[in-house]
Structure 1
Amino acid sequence: MTMDTAASRSAFTAWLRSRWLPVTVIAVVLVFGLYYPVGMLIAHKIDDRMDYEVPAAELPAGGSRTVAMAAALIDREVNRNGWVANDPFFMPGSMLDNMPNYQLGMIHALGRFAFQLVDQIGRTRGSSQTDRDLQEAAGLLQYSGTKWIFDFSTSLLPTAKSEEQYRKARASLLNYNQRLSTGNAVFERRADNLQATLERIALDIGSASAAIDRRIQDGNATFIDWEADDVFYSVKGQMYAYYLILRELKQDYPNLVRDRELAGTWDQMLASFAAGASLKPLVVWNAKPDAFILPNHLGSTGFYVERSRTQIYEIINILQK
């Protein structure tokens, strides 16, 4: 029995030696054939939980819930879920399409809101000094989300990765919130500050609506529009980030919401943002708006974008009275 086993092993070893090249090729094909698909499945995560809450440790007493949410979203997407928009070609995440656009859409919204923190909410008047932490965070959030260690289109030298810049932005937001909790920073809760912030958000999602319209016009002439999902998930990311920001903003302005009787209108607006951010088609279709069989998911998203925008302006009108 032992001799038979040894003979079998010897025969198998001889067979491998005689066929080492095809065996090696097959092994390499199997490894790489599994590396990308399995890696993509592991990396892919579109986190659109509407009940997402800021970790208690990141919300100091007396701080802003909205600022804490912005910092928490950066932490979640960069450190916990993993930033994939800048993955190089040898990483499985580089083959993903929907998740990168979703993350980029979220960062876009957070970056736009950060500007409002600098210009409106985080200073007493337009002529007062801007907050250093908010200004730094706003600048860092404008950094391209697709930058890896090397960007040969601009330089042969290493450059700052997107994640590094966003982590710095998060640190600045947390530092501002900590100073706010101790009375060493400003968070204006006047109606005109909130109104100006809402106006900028309305303008930004108006741009998203325009992007949807352009994609519908340019892409529905073909049976499969390969760029429709890029626009869809980018807008979905914006809507999701704005939903959470606006949800917390309501908590940061409790007296104003109560005095102007905004609670009902605000909740309706949040419901529209949530509906737009919750769409999860298996395949994103960009058929003609009057198509009989295939849907137009961009049109569906566009409806909720415009509805949300209209409801923001309803709140703005109430604040103006």
Structure 2
Amino acid sequence: MASDNTRDDLYVDDEYSAPRKRWMRRLGGGLSGRLSGGLIGRSLAVLVLLVALYYVAGAAIINTVDDDTSFATADVPPGASRAVEAAAALVERETDTHGWTPNDPFFLPGSILDNMPNFQQGIVKAASRFSVEMMDHIGRLRGTSQIDGDLERAAGLLKYPGNVWVWDPSVSLAPTATSESQYRAAVRALRSYNSRLASGQTVFDRRGDNLMSALERIASDLGSASAQIDGHITHGPFWLFDTDVDDIFYSTKGQLYAHYVILNALGQDFEQVLRERQLDGVWQQMLDGLKTGAELEPLIVIGGSPDALLLPNHLTAQGFYLLRARTQLYEVVNILLK
């Protein structure tokens, strides 16, 4: 009997416990799979959050649209040009102090910025215009003397595109010169010129016709910017789909700002000419127009209709101050012609 009962118990165990064990194994495997899948999902979610935080927080820390119109250059040696130092200091501030962002590669937080890169490129564009005028007229005698080597170097370097990183496959597979490295070299060239100017080794021709030529070139630059604004207002997309309006606004803002800082310093370089022609009042009005346009900074740049009630076009407001400053530049030019 004992042996029969033992066989029956074994029979029962074999019949019912084996399926239970298989079910428990399947349950354990399912729980393990779900736990493993959940862990992977949470890990991916944390990774996405960290990447988003890296870009958003990093961009917020980097983002700087420095339109401080009280920006002043350091002490300039007697005989040197305040305007040349102002141009050099602006470019140096954007490349070194704030960090150059228009060429940031995709893995840096600055690559998602929009307003700051356009503002910085606008500043360099204005500095480039001024350096060309220095090379062609103010930095030489009567346009017939030899071009100053430092000014020629600075003018060429400031024309370098602002979006070139250390590697640009569209140009070469080999490493290339970055935008900021070229601009730093331009700053060194401008300061080398100023150093030689202070020691009497080169020329800064403080004549009225040279000032007039510089103002005409800057006015032409502002005219080009106004044409870009007009073209965008006339033919730009509906404001909900307009991704270029803030690019134009901040690029123009950078130009207005840099022109203001440089012209403010240039007025000190040509102080005697302005005083002799009784231009102090008109000159200050021109600076005030540039300053107001440079300080415009809406929370969100909107490209609505120019006559909209609720959603105006901010380019029209900027364009008004731009054209007002341009008109005042030509007023100074007309007085210098007399």
Instruction: Give the corresponding residue for 2:196.
Output: 179
When the two chains are superposed, the root-mean-square deviation of aligned CA atoms in Å is: 1.5
Structure 1 residue ranges, 4+ long, deviating more than 6 angstroms after superposition: 15-18
Instruction: Give the corresponding residue for 1:46.
Output: 65
Aligned partners of 1:29, 1:18: CA distance in 2, in Å? Answer: 16
Instruction: Give the corresponding residue for 1:81.
Output: 98
1:1-321 maps to which residues of 2 (within 5 A)? 20-56=39-75, 59-219=76-236, 221-321=238-338
**How far apart are 1:26 and its partner, in Å?**
2.8
**How far apart are 1:155 and its partner, in Å?**
1.2
**How far apart are 1:20 and its partner, in Å?**
4.6
**How far apart are 1:24 and its partner, in Å?**
2.7
Aligned partners of 1:292, 1:78: CA distance in 2, in Å? Answer: 40
Q: Secondary structure at the match of 1:46?
A: coil
**How far apart are 1:291 and its partner, in Å?**
1.3
Read off the aligned partner of 1:247 and give its amino acid letter: N
Aligned partners of 2:289, 2:104: CA distance in 1, in Å? Answer: 33
> Once the two structures are superposed, what CA deviation does each residue of 1:105-161 show, in whole Å capped at 9, x if it has no partner?
110010011000000100012111000000000000000000001111121111100
Aligned partners of 2:48, 2:214: CA distance in 1, in Å? Answer: 54
Aligned partners of 1:219, 1:283: CA distance in 2, in Å? Answer: 17
Structure 2: any 5+ residue segments left out of the alignment?
A: 1-33
Aligned partners of 2:146, 2:52: CA distance in 1, in Å? Answer: 56
Say if 1:155 and 1:291 are closer, same or farther in 2 by CA, change over 3 A.
Answer: same
The percent identity for this pair of structures is 50
Q: Secondary structure at the match of 2:302?
A: coil
Aligned partners of 2:221, 2:311: CA distance in 1, in Å? Answer: 29
**How far apart are 1:225 and its partner, in Å?**
1.7
Aligned partners of 1:192, 1:311: CA distance in 2, in Å? Answer: 17
Q: Secondary structure at the match of 1:213?
A: helix
Aligned partners of 2:37, 2:241: CA distance in 1, in Å? Answer: 48
Q: Which moved more, 1:202-211 or 1:60-69?
A: 60-69
Counterpart contact for 1:216–1:286, Cα < 8 Å: yes
**How far apart are 1:23 and its partner, in Å?**
4.0
Say if 1:198 and 1:170 are closer, same or farther in 2 by CA, change over 3 A.
Answer: same
> Once the two structures are superposed, what CA deviation does each residue of 1:224-263 show, in whole Å capped at 9, x if it has no partner?
4211000000000000000001100100011101100010
Structure 1: any 5+ residue segments left out of the alignment?
A: 1-14
**How far apart are 1:94 and its partner, in Å?**
0.5
Counterpart contact for 1:98–1:229, Cα < 8 Å: yes
**How far apart are 1:21 and its partner, in Å?**
2.6
Aligned partners of 1:29, 1:133: CA distance in 2, in Å? Answer: 49
Read off the aligned partner of 1:176 and give its amino acid letter: Y
Q: Secondary structure at the match of 1:238?
A: helix
Instruction: Give the corresponding residue for 1:5.
Output: none
Q: Which moved more, 1:45-54 or 1:16-25?
A: 16-25
Instruction: Give the corresponding residue for 1:11.
Output: none
**How far apart are 1:29 and its partner, in Å?**
1.6
TM-score (norm 2): 0.88
Aligned partners of 2:202, 2:258: CA distance in 1, in Å? Answer: 24
> Once the two structures are superposed, what CA deviation does each residue of 1:258-281 show, in whole Å capped at 9, x if it has no partner?
100010000000000001000010
**How far apart are 1:16 and its partner, in Å?**
9.3
